Amino acid sequence: MKNRIRTARPHVNRNEALIFERSTPGKRGVDLPPLDVPPASPREALGDSYREAIEGFPEVSELEVVRHFTRLSTWNYGVDTGLYPLGSCTMKYNPRVNEAVARLEGLASDHPYAPEPLAQGCLEVLHETARCLAEISGMDAVSLQPAAGAQGELTGILMMRACLAERGNPRQYILIPDSAHGTNPASVTISGYQIRNLKSNERGCIDLAELSRAMTGEVAGLMLTNPNTLGIFETQMREISDLVHARGGLVYMDGANMNALIGVARPADFGADLMHLNLHKTFTTPHGGGGPGSGPVAVKTFLEPYLPSPTIEKLSDGSFRLNHDRPKSVGRVRAFYGNFGMAVRALAYILANGAEGLRQTTEDAVLNANYVLARLRDVYDVPYDQPCLHECVLSDRRQAARGVRTGDIAKRLIDYGFHPYTTSFPLIVHGAMMIEPTESASQDELDEFIEALRSIAEEIEEDPGFVLKAPHTTRVARLDEVGAARKPILRWKP
Ligand SMILES: *Cc1c(COP(=O)(O)O)cnc(C)c1O
């Protein structure tokens, strides 16, 4: 594989030309019949915003436009193109049955302002999705409003604050382990709390003695991810939550990693008081550019009064209604009831798999990650050496000695046809290579991925300079990533 890629040159043909470069003066995409009504004056209607012509606007045929956008779509990479082992992101297959269900006329075209009696089916879908998520997490009540994991965190922390304020003192700090996802400190800060960092122990987990020192009367609670961002399960979860509760705090669990637990362990059983779930990770709704997100919050009964308003209730006659009369609620966090279409897809996924299927999914995801870890450990360093759950974290320590870092290895993976793993996260691992294959990957595909990473390790031994210049087969090579984030060029200009 290596040699083939080494000699490969970018595939260039005439179709690569950008549409702006193929413009022919006078060419048009439409052919209208002669006007048989008096012409309107756009200049009059539009006033100052009227433009006679757009400078440099490409003059092309309809077919050329279709080809341009179709071609651009093939330059992209997604879960439908190949393995997407981006750790912490759970980039799994989005089953087509979800889409078929989401397109059902009654679900796709109901209006959010439809009166309750006419929206009973949609309310039932929301109610049932919430019920399933409650069963999966072990929690008692769920709101589907938050539109992302990060917004679920914010909602959850605001609920913690409301609850503690009612008990007499909202307190000042929230504890966050040093392995936490970047959204955790952001949500805590926006909620008006301050952060106190917890240093992980040599296993990459929470240190009980350190927690005990930190968990004072000024601390509102602990925000933690389990399994943590190293893919390691916090086995002392009971002791951790008992300690926090004994000191009057609450335990928030970041449930973005639920793909490692569903059907096997329930956060409510190991002491979490509230959590969020990412429908666009664990529950196969489209992720990132593929669709809006959804980060429902699930809570124990004592936090139910603070859930965002409205909640959906099932009445004794079997009908559903929205309850807006919730005086202790933290309020509304999202228009209407959240991203309804995502609840539909998640419910389709849950029902299509059933309890057995969801457990199988978890076991396969964990097996795949351990398979990758076992087959790469002789070539890449394993900073926290123990079996993982749904993702594994390696490091570039050995390769760094030859001047090649995790980001360079990731770039080289692109040449082999794979989306890179997550680089340089979690921050507690220097040169982290975080791999989450998910259950969607077959063994054949994992073997190819593993062979690619092994082959890159060999290349680094033979010729590190070659890897440092990767990718060699893409249309653009090394981008100025900081520049792209700070000074993005979002519009083509002639
Ligand atoms: C993805 C993720 C989040 C944030 O979820 P978004 O939907 O991207 O806002 C939070 N915590 C962890 C551990 C995650 O992996």
Number of other CB atoms surrounding residue 375 within 10 Å: 16
pLDDT at 19: 67
| Residues contacting 109, CB < 8 A, separation 6+ | none
Q: Report helix, strand or coil for 198.
A: strand
Query: For domain 362-486, which CATH number applies: 3.40.50.970, 3.90.1150.10, 3.90.1170.50, 3.40.50.10490?
Result: 3.90.1150.10
Q: Is 278 in the pocket of ligand 1 (CB under 6 A)?
A: yes
Q: Is the CB of 342 under 6 A from ligand 1?
A: no
- CA-nearest of 302, 312, 5 to 133 is 312
Atom of ligand 1 nearest to the CA of 229: 13
Distance between first and last Cα of the chain: 41
Q: Which of 259, 150, 275, 147 is nearest to 222 (CA)?
A: 275
* CB of 146 closer than 6 angstroms to any ligand 1 atom: no
pTM of the model: 0.90
Q: Is 150 in the pocket of ligand 1 (CB under 6 A)?
A: yes
Mean pLDDT, consecutive 10-residue stretches, the chain (494 aa), reads 45 58 85 91 88 85 89 86 95 96 95 94 98 98 97 98 98 96 95 96 94 98 95 95 98 97 97 98 86 94 98 97 97 94 97 98 98 98 95 98 98 96 95 98 97 98 97 88 90 74
The answer to whether 90 and 282 are in contact (CB under 8 A) is: yes
Q: Are 463 and 470 in contact (CB under 8 A)?
A: no
Location of structure tokens 């795949």: 368
Question: What CA–CA distances, in Å, run from 261 to 134, 157, 286, 329, 353?
Answer: 14, 23, 20, 29, 15
Same topology, domains 96-352 and 362-486? Answer is: no
Cα(204)–Cα(392) distance, integer angstroms? 12
pLDDT of residue 355: 97
CA 158 to chain centroid: 22
Of the candidates 438, 296, 287, 286, the residue with the CA atom closest to the CA atom of residue 361: 438
Q: What residues does each domain of the chain span? A: 96-352, 362-486
Residue 433 CA to residue 405 CA, distance in Å, equals: 10
Backbone angles phi, psi at 2, to 5 degrees: -60, -50
Query: What pLDDT was estimated at residue 15?
Result: 57
**Tokens 């966090």 appear where?**
333
Give residue 150 CA to ligand 1 midpoint distance, Å. Answer: 6
Closest CA to ligand 1's atom 15: 88
| pLDDT of 311 | 96
DSSP state for residue 150 in the 8-state scheme: H
The CATH topology of domain 96-352 is Aspartate Aminotransferase; domain 2 (3.40.640)
SS3 for 171? Answer: coil
336 phi-psi bin (left φ>0, alpha ψ -120 to 50, beta other): left
Instruction: For residue 227, say if its preceding peptide bond is cis, omega within 30 degrees of 0.
Output: yes
Report the C-alpha gap between 431 and 397 in whole angstroms: 7
Tell me how far the alpha carbon of residue 465 lies from the centroid of ligand 1, in angstroms: 35
Pocket test for ligand 1, best of 88, 144, 145, 183 (most atoms within 8 A of CB): 183
What's the confidence (pLDDT) of residue 10? 44
What pLDDT does residue 8 have?
A: 43
What six digits make up the tokens of 191?
A: 């909620």
Residue 150 CA: distances (Å) to CA of 60, 135, 153, 256: 43, 22, 5, 10
Q: How many other CB atoms are found less than 10 A from the CB of residue 33?
A: 5
Note whether 306 and 162 are within 8 A (CB).
yes
pLDDT reported for residue 327: 98
What's the rounded Cα separation, in Å, for the pair 489 and 385?
A: 43
